[in-house]
Copies of this chain bind each other. A is one copy, B any other.
Amino acid sequence: MKDPYALFADFVARQKLKMTPQRRQILDVFLAEEGHLTSEELYQKVKTEFPSIGQATVYRTLKLLADSGLAKAVEFGDGAMRYEILYGQSHHDHLICEACGVNVEVVDPAIERLQEEVARRHGFALTGHKLYLYGLCPECRKKRTSSL
């Protein structure tokens, strides 16, 4: 399995685009990060290593990464679009704590299967889905209970 750089380089070449230092830098930082980054967050981090970079370039590159299949856009409900690494990651959904915001990545094969079935039942060809579960994480449940 090729490394992400090679994947992206291939993609860029195939689309007759160009590989630039800013794209390399953005990809670098993006891969080094764990969470689900906002374009703004990524921009801040990249700027420390590459001060001349502009926000627009980050926005544009994030879109490119998503197109290339390396990144995936997820919306958590705060105003901003977030991107997570898709490369080498298996599919997952999100379980989000409404109190503290922690995010757990979850999967349930049975749910996945049932989604396919629901779509089929309506004659749809399923191409993707978004599932966000909202609740209270163990810690926040404790806090809430004790404060009542």
Contacts and interface: CB of A to CB of B under 8 A. Distances in A.
B133 A126 contact: yes
Interface string A108-121: 10110011011100
A90 to B, nearest CB: 15
* Count of this chain's copies in the oligomeric assembly: 2
B133 A118 contact: yes
A42 to B, nearest CB: 21
Interface in A118-148: 118-119, 122-138, 141
A53 interface: no
A106 interface: yes
A46 interface: no
Contact of A98 (B98, B127, B130): B127
